[in-house]
Amino acid sequence: MDTEKLLDVGVQGIHLLFDRQMISEAFDQDADCLREQIEGRVEEVHGAIQRLVSLETPEEGQRFVACLAPSVRHVLVLLYFELLDGRLRQDATLH
């Protein structure tokens, strides 16, 4: 999967891997609670990221993400938006 293209369309508000419900649920999570849920599962999150970027199409990515444990899915959504935020800040015009 071309992660650069995913991020390029993501900064335009088109999120090919996550539907609105996934995004909303991820942002509704309490940060401390999510941290507790994911503690000890770093390898699972890392493996999910590796698998996700190895998929050929965004549609395959959507199906894969939908099957993940909710806490892992929430972390992926939040990491994705952190990447988008970084990209937007990097590309921002400085005055």
- Tens of each residue's pLDDT in the chain, 95 residues: 899 999 999 999 999 999 999 999 999 999 999 999 999 999 999 999 999 999 999 999 999 999 999 999 999 999 999 999 999 988 776 55
pTM of the model: 0.89
Residue with tokens 């990491």: 79
Q: What distance in Å separates the CA atoms of residue 8 and residue 38, rounded to the nearest whole number? A: 28
16: which 2 tokens? Answer: 């090919």
Domain residue extents for the chain: 3-91
Q: What distance in Å separates the CA atoms of residue 33 and residue 42, rounded to the nearest whole number? A: 15
